[in-house]
Structure 1
Amino acid sequence: MKLVSRDIDKNNSGSVTLIPEENEDMWHTYNLVTIGDSLRSTTIRKVQNESATGSVSVNKVRTTLTIHVEAIEFDIQGCMLRVRGRNIQENQYVKMGAYHTLDLELNRKFTLGKQEWDSIVLERIETACDPTTHADLAAVVMQEGLAHVCLITSNMTLVRAKIETSIPRKRKGMCSQHDKGLTRFYDQILQAILRHVNFDIVKCFLVASPGFVKDQFTEYLFTQAVKMDNKVLLDNKSKFVLVHASSGFKHSLKEVLQDPSVTARLADTKASLEIKALDDFYQMLQNDSNRAFYGVKQVEKAAEHQAVEVLLISDELFRSQDIKQRKRYVKIVDTVRETAGEVRMFSSLHVSGEQLGQLSGIAAILRFPMAEDDDDSEED
C-alpha cells in the first residue's frame, strides 16, 4: 500500500489518500472503510445525452465522486471492494444525494475520510504501508487426489489452487493406472506452484500430507525440476519443509503451523505467532482456566484489572457497524497496551482467525488467576 497523503487533525478527524498495490492491500482497505465514512475515487458513470432531434445516446464517462458509505462488499477472489453510498459533493454527471457504487481495485487511488481515526485503524495503515510485510509462507496440503496450494500472509490464508482428481486404486498386478493417475495429479500441483508461488518473497514452502504422499510428491517435484532445468525450484530446494498433516483440506494448516520444525523455520512470521498464541490460550484454558478468559465482558473486566498478559482479538470485531461497540474493542486494546500487555490481532480470513471467531473473536491469557463472574459468562 502506498500512502499518498495524510491529513488528520489533533482531534483525530480527517482523511488519508492511499493506493493499493498488492492483493492483500485490498483486505487492508476492507478493514479501513466503515459505514459512515466518506470515500472519494474515480469511477465510470453512464450519461444520457439528448440531441436537438430528440435522439438519446448513452456514453460512459470517467469522473471523480465522493460518497457517504452505506454498504461495503468485498470480493475475495477478485480482490475488489464495492462501496455503495450517496453522492455528497457537487458533480456535473451525478446529482447530490444520488446513489452510486465505487469499485476500489489495485492501483486505483482513493481518499478515505473519517470523523475519528482510532488507534487500530491508524495501526493498520502503518502495517499496510510497511514494505516488509509480504506473503513469506507458501504451503501445499495434500492427500491422494486432493491438494490445496496456499499463500499465507500476515493477514490471510489465500487458496491459490484447489486440485481434485480421481486416482484409480491399486490392484494386484495392475499398478500402472494408479501410477499414471498419481503422476497426472502431481504434475497439476507442480504447475500450480510454478504459477502462483513467488520464491523471491517466500521464505519457506511447506509440503504437508498424511503418510508418504508428501515424500513422493517432493521427489517427483525435484526430479521434474532437474529434467526441465528449472533453476527457480532447484535454487530454492532448501526452503521446502516436509511435515505431517491429517488431510489435504485447508483446515489442516492449523496443525501444520503448530509443528515444532515449522515453527522454528517461521519464527519471524506473524502467521506462526498467531497460531502459537492460540495454542497457548487453549493449553491455559485446559490447565488453569482462571487464567484464560474469552468473551468481551470477561476480557474487558480482566483488562480493567491490568491482568491481561496476551490479548487475542479478531479484526472482524472492528468492522462492527455499531460505533459504540467498535470503540469498546479499541478501548480494550489500548488498555492492554498501556499496561504492558501483548496484543495479537487475528485476521478473520486466516485459519487461526476462524478458530478465534468460534470463541467470540476475543480472548486473553492472564498474568494471574481471576475468578470468573457467572453473570457475565451467561450474558456472553
Structure 2
Amino acid sequence: MFLLKLIGVDEKLREVKVRVDTEDDLWVIYNLLSGGDVIKAKTSRELKTRSGSRRKPMTLAVKAERFELQPFTSRLRVHGIIVEGPKELDLVGQRHTLSLDVGREFTIRREEGWSEAELGRIREAVRRSTARVLIVGVDDEEVCIAFLRDYGVEKVAELRVSLPGKMYQEDRERILMVKMAEAARMVEEACERFKADALVLAGPGFVKEALKEALKGLKDVSVYLEDASTGGLKGVYEAIKRGVVTRIVKDYSLVEEERLMEEFMSKLAADERLVAYGLGHVETCINAGAVGKLMVISELLRAEDQELRLKVENLVRMAEGRRARVKIFSSLHDTYHWLKSLGGIAAILRYPVEPPKHTVQPGGGKAFRRL
C-alpha cells in the first residue's frame, strides 16, 4: 500500500496518472511539473446563466503555465489554459486554475514524453513511502489473510472456522479458542514474512476481538479493528471500502515523523555535531553534502514570504540532489510543533559537523546555548 500512488503510465499517450495522499507527494509532483504539461483533473468552474451564476463540477485538462504551493493550505495550484473540457460548454482556450490537494487523482501529459529519470523519481517516491499492510477478514465461518499491494489484494492464506450453533455454547467457545490460536499463528507468520507495518482485523461481532486476544507475537505492528458485515475475502474488500487504508496512511506518516524525531533527539544527546537545526545551520550542512535526512514543516513551503519559501524550496531540492531523505511534517501533532520550535527545519547528518553558537529550544523546552 502506497502513499504516493503511481496508478498508471501510458507511453503512447505520454501520460502518468497519480494519486497524492500526503504533502510529501505534493512536493514530488510540484518539482516534477514543467510549463507546457497538460494536467487533467476534476474541478469546478463558475458558469454564468441568465439568472445569475453557479459553480459546476467538471473534468478539465489545463496546459500549465505556472505552479504554486499555495500559502496556508495543503494545495498545489496549476494555472493555465483549458485544452479539453465538456464540449457543450465551449471552454477550450479560456484560463483556469486547478487546485490539486491531498487525496486527489489526476493525470499529467507531457507532449515530448517522460524520461526514465523522471519516471524514476516518481517510482522512488512511491518506494520510499511504502507502508506494508495485512488485512484479515474474520468471522465465525472463515478467516482470510490478504496483503495489500499497489495493484490490488494478494490472498495469502485462508482458514475454515465453522463454529457450532449458539445452542452448543461450550463447544462453540472451545472451538473458537482453538481456531483463533491457529489463525493467530498464521497471521503472525504473514506479518513476519511481509514485514508488515499495520494489521487490520475486519469482520462482524466478537470474532475479530477474539483473534486480537490470541495474537501474542506481534512486534512493531499497528493493529486496527474494523467492522465489516462478513469475514473472508469479502470482509477484506469491505474494510478497504470503509476507508481503513486512508486512516493507516495518515497514521503511517505520523509514525515516520515520530521515528525521525526520536532519532534526532538520540543523535543530539550522543553528539550534537550529528544534527543540524535552523535555516542557516542546515543550509551549511546541505552545501557540505552532510545531510542524510532532512525534516521541514509544511508551513515553510507554503510561507507567504516568497523569498523565504523559495529559499526553503531550493534547500530541499539541493538535499534531494545529494540523495538525502526528505520528510515534510504536515500534521498538527506534537512532532510538528517540536520541529517548529527548532526553526521549522532540521537534519540528521551523515558525519559530524561543528555547529554554530546559537540559542534554540529543542522539543519546545527551555532554551539553551550551544558553546
Q: TM-score range by the shorter chain?
A: 0.3 to 0.5
TM-score, normalised on structure 2? 0.46
TM-score by length of 1: 0.45
